[in-house]
């Protein structure tokens, strides 16, 4: 995967659609990242943090029980074992290290499920930076534990009360904060979205997981690569990370979106949050509210490079329902003793649904995060708690499901 063009585009997607106030900041960030990324000492410091603070490399686990049950050989890239419980820490350590280098001591971030918020609060605590995290009111409610984690880590959590009160609105609030504080603040965006250089920069910070996975696959598969590499897609950072390791191999790449948040699946381009990409919207261009049981995928857009990969046919994008996701969540817990986050449960749900076409194949799933944060929500859904049931859509059925 190469750099985007000078305008920050991957094919026809990407760009820098931000208020004029932010343009110089985006330019400064692009230059700052370019310099840092080509500076060996920055790279060494980043790698040291990944290894000695985040706990990289993360292992790859062969799932024998599940493989027997499904007739599909399943490998998991264990991003759930990273410090803070997901792949998000890679990007956050890269960006906060960059903020430090650029002399910005106030970090602003948005969060959906809270994973990016917790990771950002963690890194900010490590570097002694001030940290403000915006989180939609709905997510604050369903991820209360992560709110407390962020506060424990010294971050200030601000509740976004506008719009759908989920990730989309948290991004709006974080961008408004950044417009007003751009001279002193660093916006630590949590996915491969937003204005150039974010989609590219965030991918580069997650590239490590794809590179590790490629090397580990070759070791486990006698020099071969998996037939299929699958990852969940909200904004798409964990998917881009793992795809980056396999895009030049024979592996088929599959991104799995929630049925209620399938931006690529609907294939209508639009502009929000700084870039042109596939976007869930109505006929007038109003952005639709996504619906997913997992707060981390509850986003109507998708990173521009995913739109590009779909456009050129290098990756394909599938959707799964909340019910399939909850089934996969239980399945992996029971069969392998690994409780996955609801987000990567989407990837597994797709494998389960397509097990017939995947018979005998080797499938690598990016297990992007652990499920501790979701246990209370799933328990409440299974108990029929009315508030928890508001977070889940059991009515959607997909063809062939």
Partner 1 sequence: MADGTLEKHLRERRDAGRKLLVPYITAGYPKDNWTRLVEGMAGAGADAIEIGIPFSDPVMDGPTIQESSTRALADGITPGLAFDGVSRLDIDVPLVAMTYYNICFRMGHERFAQSLKKAGFAAAILPDLPLEEAGEWAEVADVEGIETVMLAAPTASDERLPLVVERARGFVYGVGLVGITGERNELAASALKMASRLKAITDKPVLIGVGVSTPEQAAQLAEVADGVIVGSAVIRQILDTGSIDAAIDFVGSLRRGLDGD
Under DSSP, the state recorded for 333 is H
Told to check if 168 binds partner 1 by CB under 8 A, we report yes
Residue 63 appears among annotated catalytic residues: yes
**By CB under 8 A, is residue 19 in contact with partner 1?**
yes
Cβ proximity of 305 and 313 under 8 Å: no
Does residue 241 contact residue 233 with C-beta atoms inside 8 Å?
no
Which of 63, 131, 188, 232 is labelled catalytic? Answer: 63
11 binds partner 1 (CB under 8 A): no
Residue closer to partner 1 by CB (options 169, 318) is: 169
Query: Within positions 111 to 150, which residues make up the interface with partner 1, using CB under 8 A?
Result: none
Handedness of CA 376, 86, 198, 108 (dihedral sign): positive
Q: Are 257 and 289 in contact (CB under 8 A)?
A: no
Binding mask 265-304 for partner 1 (x = CB under 8 A): ----xxxxxx-x--x-x-xxxxx-----------------
**Residue in 64, 162, 219, 382 binding partner 1, rule: CB under 8 A:** 162
* Closer Cβ to partner 1, 16 or 203, answer by number: 16
Q: Are strands 362-367 and 228-232 parallel, antiparallel or unpaired?
A: parallel
Q: How many residues sit close enough to partner 1 to count as binding (CB under 8 A)?
A: 38
Sole window of 88-96, 162-170, 258-266, 313-321 interacting with partner 1 (rule: CB under 8 A): 162-170
Residue closer to partner 1, measured from CB, 172 or 345: 172
Query: Applying CB under 8 A, does 167 fall inside the site for partner 1?
Result: no
Q: How far is the CB of 90 from partner 1 (least distance, A)?
A: 27
Which helix H or strand E contains 49, and what residues bound it? helix 40-52
Q: How many CB atoms lie within 10 A of CB 34?
A: 13
Q: Do the beta carbons of residue 31 and residue 210 sit within 8 Å? A: no
Is residue 345 near partner 1 by the rule CB under 8 A? no
CB 84 within 8 A of CB 114: no
Q: Does 103 contact partner 1 by CB under 8 A?
A: no
Burial of residue 126, with CB atoms counted within 10 A of its CB: 0-12 exposed, 13-18 middle, 19 or more buried? middle
Residue 22 interacts with partner 1 (CB under 8 A): yes or no: yes
Beta-carbon neighbour count of residue 314 at 10 Å? 14
Give the residue with the Cβ less far from partner 1, 241 or 261.
261
Q: Which residue among 3, 23, 34, 152 contacts partner 1 (CB under 8 A)?
A: 23
| Residue closer to partner 1 (CB basis): 13 or 243 | 13
165 binds partner 1 (CB under 8 A): no
Whether the bond into 197 is cis, omega within 30 of 0: yes
CB 367 within 8 A of CB 344: yes
- Cα–Cα distances (Å) from 142 to 8, 147, 373, in that order, read 35, 10, 9
- Comparison of 102 and 398: residue with beta carbon closer to partner 1: 102
Which x/- pattern, by CB under 8 A, does the window 232-271 give for partner 1?
-------------------------------------xxx
Per the annotation, the verdict on 87 as an active-site residue is yes
Q: Give yes or no for residue 15 binding partner 1 (CB under 8 A).
A: yes
Interacting residues of 16 by C-beta distance below 8 A, sequence separation 6+ = 7, 8, 23, 26, 195, 196, 274, 275
Residue 389 binds partner 1 (CB under 8 A)? no
Q: Which is nearer to partner 1, 11 or 154 (CB)?
A: 11
Q: What is the DSSP string of 260-323?
A: GG-HHHHT-EEEETEEEEEB-B-TTSPBPPP--SSGGG--SB--HHHHHHHHTTSEEEEEE-HH
What is the smallest separation between the CB atom of 375 and partner 1, expressed in angstroms?
Answer: 32
Question: Applying CB under 8 A, does 179 fall inside the site for partner 1?
Answer: yes
Known catalytic residues are 63, 87
> Which residues bind to partner 1, rule: CB under 8 A?
7, 15-25, 162-163, 168-169, 172, 175-176, 179-183, 269-274, 276, 279, 281, 283-287
């Amino acid at each position: 995967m190469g750099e985007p063009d000078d305008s920050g585009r991957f094919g026809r997607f990407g760009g820098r659609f931000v208020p004029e106030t932010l343009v110089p900041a985006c330019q400064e960030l692009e230059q700052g990242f370019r310099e840092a990324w080509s500076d060996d000492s920055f790279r060494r410091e980043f790698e040291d943090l990944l290894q000695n603070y985040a706990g990289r490399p993360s292992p790859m686990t062969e799932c024998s029980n599940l493989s027997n049950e499904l007739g599909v050989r399943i490998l998991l890239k264990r991003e759930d074992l990273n410090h803070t419980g997901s792949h998000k820490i890679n990007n956050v350590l890269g960006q906060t290290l960059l903020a430090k280098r650029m002399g910005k001591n106030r970090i602003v971030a948005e969060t959906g499920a809270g994973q990016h918020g917790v990771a950002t609060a963690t890194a900010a605590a490590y570097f002694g930076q001030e940290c403000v995290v915006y989180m939609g009111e709905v997510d604050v409610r369903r991820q209360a534990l992560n709110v407390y984690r962020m506060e424990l880590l010294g971050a200030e959590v601000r509740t976004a009360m506008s719009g759908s009160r989920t990730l989309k609105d948290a991004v709006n609030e974080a961008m408004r904060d950044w417009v007003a504080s751009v001279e002193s603040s660093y916006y630590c965006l949590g996915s491969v979205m937003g204005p150039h250089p974010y989609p590219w920069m965030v991918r580069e910070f997650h590239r490590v997981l794809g590179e590790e996975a490629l090397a580990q696959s070759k070791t486990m598969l006698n020099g071969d690569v998996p037939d299929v590499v699958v990852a969940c897609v909200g904004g798409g950072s964990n998917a881009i990370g793992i795809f980056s390791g396999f895009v030049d191999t024979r592996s088929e790449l599959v991104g799995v979106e929630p049925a209620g948040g399938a931006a690529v699946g609907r294939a209508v381009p639009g502009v929000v949050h700084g870039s042109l990409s596939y976007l869930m919207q109505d006929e007038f261009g109003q952005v639709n509210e996504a619906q997913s049981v997992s707060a981390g995928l509850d986003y109507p857009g998708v990173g521009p490079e995913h739109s590009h990969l779909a456009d050129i046919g290098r990756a394909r994008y599938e959707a799964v329902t909340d019910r399939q996701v909850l089934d996969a969540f239980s399945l992996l817990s029971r069969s392998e003793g690994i409780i996955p986050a609801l987000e990567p449960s989407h990837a597994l749900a797709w494998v389960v649904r397509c097990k017939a076409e995947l018979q005998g194949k080797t499938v690598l799933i990016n297990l992007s995060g652990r499920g501790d944060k979701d246990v209370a929500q799933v328990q409440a859904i299974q108990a029929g708690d009315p508030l928890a049931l508001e977070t889940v859509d059991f009515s959607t059925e997909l063809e062939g499901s």
